[in-house]
Amino acid sequence: RIMRPDDANIAGNVHGGTILKMIEEAGAIISTRHCNSQAGEPCVAALARVERTDFLSPMCIGEVANVSAEITYTSRHSVEVQVNVMSENILTGAKKVTNKATLWYVPLSLKNVNKVLEVPPIQYVRKEQEEEGKKRYEEQKLDRLETKQRNGDVILPVINPEPHTVGYSQSSLIHLVGPSDCTLLGFVHGGVTMKLMDEVAGIVAARHCKTNIVTASVDAINFHEKIKKGCVITVSGRMTFTSNKSMEIEVFVDADPFVDEPRERYRAVSAFFTYVSLSKEGKPLPVPQLLTETEDEKRRFEEGKGRYLQTKAKRQAQMQQSAQQ
């Protein structure tokens, strides 16, 4: 579809969240279709996890987004989908890869939302594809368990914060979950949640550096808890780390089943977003360093640095690998 002014920031760059939402919708369609391809209980595929995603080049207003999705692995109860997004300038014909994402879905019964159904197996062209898929499956399973144990951090407000401290840019928004946000089962689409998370992360980044910012990457996101129609969700973000030219923002989503339900507020999702600041010519600008004050802030900064160096090392290894091929 054509990118509209509402999909973009004032510099004309399409929000990463708009792209994440399109990716998730494509993944939900292909995996729901696959899981219902054999006779049996009807089901809806629910997003369980999105692997780390890099935004390779920004998309602009007026460009057309081409989204293609393919099922690349199935386990007994989950489906791995690979989604590619290309931006196309229909005036010049130029096409660019915007990003590639890997998503995991789980089929939930339409009759009983707590029942996970079985996934029809796919056929692999080569035997290795199945083995590689299984490896990816095991890896993400481990990672999901890990984040489930991370306990609920809370973002506390700060009065009169100094510029460039954590408190200075931290932000949160609330959103009342409406019918258009939800799947047939009455639970929020993963893509809607990711769009709100990117919105908060973008505001945190812009408050910190006061320039035009774009999403550079999103770390793996695990969806442990469903969010129901009628909930109020609070999406909060705080900066955790800055390198010379990038900012890492941690985002939390808390759900509040606020009418007619006995349940307490709970942490539904959390994730790390990385942003860069761009000049008018589209070049990365240096960003102000984050000032850490408390012990917790210093610890999170070091952890963020660890993730940053790890990603950098991985990328260099990949580049060397492709140079050797």
- For its own copies, which residue of 42, 121, 286, 306 counts as binding (CB under 8 A)? 42
CB of 201 to its own copies, least distance (A): 12
Pick from 93, 127, 244, 324 the residue near its own copies by CB under 8 A. 93
User: Minimum CB separation from its own copies for residue 171, in Å?
Assistant: 6
Residue 88 binds its own copies (CB under 8 A): yes
In a 10 Å sphere around its CB, with 0-12 CB exposed, 13-18 middle and 19+ buried, how is residue 181 labelled?
buried
- The torsion defined by the Cα of 147, 149, 152 and 153, in degrees rounded to 10, comes to -70
Site for its own copies in 203-232 (CB under 8 A): 203, 206-207, 210-212, 229-230, 232
Which range in 49-57, 139-147, 155-163, 289-297 contacts its own copies by CB under 8 A? Answer: 155-163
Q: Contacting its own copies (CB under 8 A), which of 123, 157, 322, 325?
A: 157
Minimum Å gap between C-beta 65 and its own copies is 10
132: contact with its own copies by CB under 8 A:
no
What is the C-alpha to C-alpha distance for residues 53 and 58, in angstroms, rounded to an integer? 14
Q: Which is nearer to its own copies, 158 or 220 (CB)?
A: 158
Q: Is residue 153 a contact residue for its own copies (CB under 8 A)? A: no
Exactly one of 61, 86, 220, 285 binds its own copies (CB under 8 A); that residue is 61
Instruction: Kindly identify the residues of this chain, within the stretch 286-325, that bind its own copies according to CB under 8 A.
Output: none
Alpha carbon distance 47, 107 (integer Å): 9
Q: Which is nearer to its own copies, 261 or 296 (CB)?
A: 261
Which residues are marked as active site?
9, 198
Output the smallest distance, CB 7 to its own copies, in A: 9
List of residues contacting its own copies (CB under 8 A): 1-2, 4-6, 9-10, 25-26, 28-29, 32-33, 36-37, 42-44, 61-62, 64, 88, 90-93, 110, 156-157, 159, 171-176, 178-180, 184, 199-200, 202-203, 206-207, 210-212, 229-230, 232, 256, 258-261
